[in-house]
Amino acid sequence: MSHQTVIVLDFGGQYNQLIARRVRECQVYCEVKPYTTPLDQLKAMDPIGIIFTGGPNSVYLDSSPKVDPEIFTWGVPILGICYGCQLMAHLLGGQVTEAQDNSAREYGKTVTYYDTACRLFKGLPARGISWMSHGDYMARVPEGFALTAHSDACPNVAIADEARGFYGVQFHPEVNHTENGVAMIRNFLYEVCGAKGDWTMGDYCRTAIAAIREKVGQGKVLLALSGGVDSSVCAALLAEAVGRQLTCVFVDHGLMRKNEGDEVQAAFDRWDINFIRVDAEERFLGKLAGVDDPERKRKIIGEEFIRVFEEEARKIGKVDFLAQGTIYPDVIESGAGDAAVIKSHHNVGGLPDFVDFKEIIEPLRLLFKDEVRQLGRELGLPEYLVMRQPFPGPGLAIRILGAITKEKADLLREADFIFRDEIARAGEDRSLSQYFAVLTNTRSVGVMGDGRTYDYTLALRAVTTSDFMTADWARIPYEVLDRISVRIVNEVQGINRIVYDITSKPPATIEWE
């Protein structure tokens, strides 16, 4: 697929994926690459611009991540954010030091003054709030750079060498707390890099279908179908590309939500595709018996999925390709190269070393969740499928803390159903991005019917998000939470305490495991 490309060079910043998401919101394609990526690989991508992310290190330390200064000779515009700004200053002859007093350190919302003659701030208000997070200070900026923004405490909040297209900001324009932050990124893309805005879902859809047809040829494709948004959109895309060459296999591993297996089958029975449902509850629960480590759970499930698909492929006849609905956050969180593994997604980091297929194809691999939904609409999927509640491939296995048993799965199924039912009754489902219950491994004393109980604690989780890379905990009304709590404790035997998770992402992830 031919698109203008921006490279987001990752130096360990907590917002690196959010930067990428903001770039794509501006209809410009981008990819996140670790700072250790060889320069020849980066240059081969022919970027129209490069963005250095933030990071937790200090640029003046020998151990801090660096990039080869040759990158500044390519004639490609570069935007440095926070650590990326300081790295640019450091490598181009400036001086970055530890702030000697609290006045030079800035964290959180900060009143900032911008030079609107600078292309980065063109057309924006001269004063606004920016989100700061830096303890180091640019004591001297490199030759050729001008100061283009300041705060009451810091004279060099932003720097620019407009002749070379190099810009640096000490704040984070990618977060919502920075006023007009996305407009600044848009200015960098369009005013500085000359972006055309050629990244659209309509274009992606057409080129993806053509690429799938070219790769698959006359071969057969088996899709690992979970019934969630990602695999459903993947199914529609593949069906459009290769039609009856596609077989969708839905593995009911006994860890689905209440009635979900039947609902998935009913939804896809209406489509003109080959659909196979495999009842594998006993098989999966047997493999997971006694396993309490979440990473092992994911890897066991990932491998067992593959083995089931291989068996089904042999029944069908020669199948060349295994397709998956893997999306970009799955890839990032599973880690690559020097990137940290947040959690191994069963369809990425959980894959076994040997897979008995010619190739795995993942047409959604570079899309964020909201882009997947856009693609689904482009393909004509009904809104109820496009906006379906996200559900992880490992299912309830990663919502049951500790060892998994059928009894625990049944317990959680009922509690989760009540939670979702009450959310829908209250009309809160329209404003929540994801909500579910987690069966903790904690038991506590309770009193029911004048008798002592010693039962499980259930955690409720609900978040709002646009991209699933960051998320805020949802402010569900107390009266709704009260109804949910009363119903679960009264209707689900084995749970006597309900807690509500009020942690955002970061520092938490959306799922508990």
Instruction: Quickly list H helices, 317-405.
Output: 328-334, 369-378, 383-386
Across the chain, mean pLDDT equals: 88
Domain with CATH 3.40.50.620 in the chain: 201-386
pLDDT of residue 137: 74
Question: Class of 399-500 per CATH?
Answer: alpha beta
Say whether pLDDT at 458 is over 50: yes
Q: Is a pLDDT exceeding 90 seen at residue 15? A: no
Average of per-residue pLDDT across 393-401: 91
Q: What is the pTM of this model?
A: 0.64
Evaluate if residue 227 carries a pLDDT over 90.
no
Strand partners, 160: 146, 167
Across 192-201, 254-263, 327-336, 465-474, the highest mean pLDDT is recorded for 192-201
The predicted pLDDT at position 452 comes to 84
- pLDDT of 340 above 50: no
Q: What is the pLDDT of residue 419?
A: 98
User: Could you tell me the pLDDT band of residue 134, with boundaries at 50, 70 and 90?
Assistant: low
pLDDT of residue 14 exceeding 50: yes
Write out the two tokens for 456.
């499980």
Residue 61: pLDDT over 50: yes
Range(s) for CATH 3.40.50.880 in the chain?
Answer: 5-192
Task: Look at residues 469, 461, 285, 280 and name the one whose alpha carbon lies nearest to residue 370.
Answer: 469
Q: Which range among 70-84, 310-324, 410-424 shows the weakest confidence by mean pLDDT? A: 310-324
Percent of the chain past pLDDT 70, that is, above it, reads 92
The CATH homologous superfamily for domain 5-192 is Class I glutamine amidotransferase (GATase) domain (3.40.50.880)
Q: Where are the CATH 3.30.300.10 domain residues in the chain?
A: 399-500
pLDDT in tens, 243-267: 989 999 999 999 999 988 888 888 7
Assigned CATH for 201-386: 3.40.50.620
CB 296 within 8 A of CB 348: no
Torsion angle, CA of 242/201/474/346, rounded to 10 degrees? 40
Element (H, E) at 174: none
Q: How sure is the predictor about 242, in pLDDT bands with cuts at 50, 70 and 90?
A: very high
Lowest-pLDDT range of 111-125, 233-247, 310-324? 310-324
| pLDDT value at residue 312 | 86
What three-state secondary structure class fits 281?
helix
Which sequence positions are flagged as catalytic?
82, 172, 174
Q: How far apart are CA 34 and CA 392, in angstroms?
A: 26
Say if residue 477's pLDDT is above 90. yes
> What does the pLDDT read at residue 133?
65
Residue 335 has pLDDT above 60, yes or no: no
- CA–CA gap between residue 104 and residue 101 (Å, rounded): 6
Q: Which of 54, 66, 80 is nearest to 135 (CA)?
A: 54
**Ordered DSSP codes for 404-421:** --HHHHHHHHHHHHHHHH
How far apart, in whole angstroms, are the C-alpha atoms of residue 217 and residue 503? 47
